[in-house]
A and B are shown apart, each in its own frame.
With several copies, the nearest count.
Chain A
Amino acid sequence: MHKPRMQLLASFDIASLEYLDERGHTTQALPDFATPDTLVAFYRQMALARLVDDRAVKMQRTGQLGTYPSSLGQEAIGVGVGAAMAKEDVYCPNYRETGALLERGVTIQEIYAIWGGDERGQNFRHAREDLPLSVPIATQMLHGAGVAFALKYKHEQLGEPMRVAVTTGGDGSTSRGDFYEAINLAGDWQLPLVVVINNNQWAISLPRSEQTACKTLAQKAIAAGIPSLQVDGNDVIAVREAVGDAVERARRGAGPSMVEAVSYRLCDHTTADDASRYQPEQALKEAWSREPLRRLRSYMQAHGFWGDSQEEEMQRELNQALEKAVQEYRDTPRDAATAIFDHLYETLPEAFLEQYQQLRGEN
């Protein structure tokens, strides 16, 4: 059959970014921010995230915590994202971003409280404007778009400095309408929103390859008319660079963009999961060879600003901080039963006073 002649309307490219390969060798000149001090700080935060996750899993096993979603293997994404944001920007997280939460100033105790079944953990002492952890997949992206609208509104209408909303979600989140509606609006309204897809290759038991027919998740941004790229999510420098670039674009009013950060979930989905039921052992083994901490440490060691003594010193300090936080978490008395009504409305409507009193055992 004769093939019809067509006219080209539009073309799109999706590219990927990397600085440090698996062995910690640079594949191109590093960005300016990548000074030894900064890289040590990144490394330290990644190491802390790993410790926090590791302890959480142990505490769950011993009944001190509920179901917990570790971010083992994804520390570079969390830390890269957190480091790319200004303090006054607003983070709109999913539930698996220990590194980013710590960067934002959410405390270890708060993280443990949340997964220990205590809403008080979401009342972040420091990151007052950041959104709470969001469990329903991808919903936070719409909240993020709303936050971005508000930040733009306050900038343009009320003369405040421009701030940026950053939201994260997993590979699975890109299948939900919420994700798509959020990026489409962000493009349409040119919101200061950065969407980071933490592609850890799994959504519980569903591998990335079965989540969508797309070659990359980054290309989904084409459907919203916004720029996107893929980065090596095990390379904290690449994550920091790509997200930083996206944040700055948003801050200068040039609109939203999306970053797909490719890593690997090196752990069970949560402590309630058993990944050996569905995950090929070989894939896991290979993924370990690409994990983010070792490659950065190799780089730091090769360039002479990190060694065993620094590592030991750091581990000691981090463990101390962790112990302190664990202790504080354990020492926190359970919330009062009436707390379940105290923050439902700003003022409890009269109609529910009777229930409140019943709860207090008053009738």
Chain B
Amino acid sequence: MGEITLVEAITQALAFELQADQRVVVFGEDVGVNGGVFRATEGLQDRFGSARVLDTPLAETMIAGIAIGMAAQGLRPVAEFQFMGFIYPALDHILSHAGRYRNRTRGRLSCPIVYRAPYGGGIHAPEHHSESTEALFAHIPGLRLVVPSSPARAYGLLLAAIRNPDPVVFLEPKRIYRAARQEVPDSGDALPLDRAFVLREGTDVTLISWGASLKETLQAAEQLAEEGIEAEVIDPATLKPLDIHTVIDSLEKTHRCVVIHEAARFCGLGAEVVAQINEYAFDLLHAPVQRVTGYDTVMPYFQLEDEYLPGAPRILAAVRKALDYANGGAV
């Protein structure tokens, strides 16, 4: 088989489920002949036909909306938005309908939909091609929000998302689409949703991140290890619902925490992580949880995007702030 990249793992999962389940259809802009602008659907139309892998006209509201009708009829639509920057016209249908259909009909109809989109910055793309607005989806009731951070997790979580009986927004960190290769057997085995993954064990500080930022987070952890500081690194993977238990377990050991994300800080997902830690682990904290995030400004055009993205130095600075925090926390 050989090792595959994250984006290849996406393709592999789509192919597996298209093969296994006749109800699965894949559609979006340029996903057919062209195989998607990132090649995430490469070869799928050839293999499964243009009745199951479809190029849509250019209309995101439509892509979101038809998925709901398809799902209500028992299909398993997997809809691609070409970039997260073009998902906003779809928000109405995701929020007003996909996340509500089961509840609205008291279980009569449901929306087992996967809305996929590449997301995040760092690839020197034009404006609107580098968005990280996962928090918008995290606030919407009735959804799941999933972000993979490795080929194996991309494969296993996407399978889980497609099989999940409720709608999932599945954001793919495009900066690491091809950053690493991994052996990912095409076993059809899903990974659990709603469960965090501990990527690195440690006792001194808990680092929480997801998607592409885990790259810098793990780098920072390595660097800390050289100084004898052992960071525990947690990838929630499912951002909503959030597996806070894994975080609390970690805080029992470390008592210090840093949350890292690319998105703007204000009302970002980091805030929810901090709030839940405040609620469930207040007494465990020896220092305020630090947030290392994108700034509260627009994702800049690419000449300045590295200034915007939280890199290892900013993560390290935050860790040191947490570690150096005057012994003891509140009062």
Contacts and interface: CB of A to CB of B under 8 A. Distances in A.
B308 A340 contact: yes
B222 interface: no
A205 B30 contact: yes
A343 to B, nearest CB: 5
Interface in B115-131: 124-129
B105 A341 contact: no
B137 interface: no
A114 B300 CA distance: 11
Contact of A122 (B57, B64, B75, B105): B105
B68 A143 contact: yes
A69 B64 CA distance: 27
B228 interface: no
Given A67-B126, A123-B107, A135-B128, A182 B62 contact: yes
Nearest to B31: A205
A349 B106 CA distance: 17
Interface in A104-122: 114-120, 122
Given A147-B69, A178-B61, A337-B307, A132 B105 contact: yes
Interface string A123-142: 11000110110111101011
Contacts of B141: 344
A203 interface: yes
Contacts of A157: 22, 51-52
Interface residues of B, number: 80
B225 interface: no
B321 to A, nearest CB: 10
- How many chain A residues sit at the interface, stated as a range, is 35 or more
A343 B102 contact: yes
B307 A175 contact: no
B243 interface: yes
A206 to B, nearest CB: 5
A166 interface: no
B151 to A, nearest CB: 23
Contacts of A120: 106
B16 interface: no
A93 B65 CA distance: 14
Interface stretch (A35-43, A246-254, A351-359): A351-359
A210 interface: yes
B21 interface: no
Nearest to A337: B307
Interface string B274-292: 0000000000000000000
Contact of A139 (B33, B74, B92, B144): B92
Nearest to A167: B69
Interface in B59-87: 59-62, 64-75, 77, 85-86
Nearest to A151: B73
Interface stretch (B5-13, B93-101, B173-181): B93-101
A336 to B, nearest CB: 9
A343 B92 contact: no
Given A135-B126, A182-B65, A343-B103, A204 B37 contact: yes
A154 B73 contact: yes
A362 interface: no
A181 interface: yes
A26 B77 CA distance: 48
Contacts of B97: 134, 136, 139, 143
B323 to A, nearest CB: 17
B110 A346 contact: yes
A256 interface: no
Nearest to A125: B108
Given A135-B128, A142-B69, A341 B307 contact: no
A352 B110 CA distance: 19
A66 B86 CA distance: 19
A204 B241 contact: no
B203 interface: no
Contacts of B64: 142
Contact of B298 (A272, A340, A349, A350): A340
A281 to B, nearest CB: 14
A245 interface: no
B221 to A, nearest CB: 22
A12 interface: no
A176 interface: yes
B296 interface: yes
B40 to A, nearest CB: 14
Contact of B65 (A129, A181, A345): A181
- List the 8 shortest-distance A-B pairs measured between CB atoms, nearest first: A146-B69, A142-B65, A150-B73, A351-B241, A146-B66, A117-B302, A205-B34, A175-B57
Given A146-B70, A146-B72, A351-B244, 6 more contacts: A119-B301, A123-B105, A135-B126, A173-B58, A334-B303, A355-B265
6 contacts: A118-B303, A136-B128, A139-B93, A148-B69, A205-B33, A346-B102
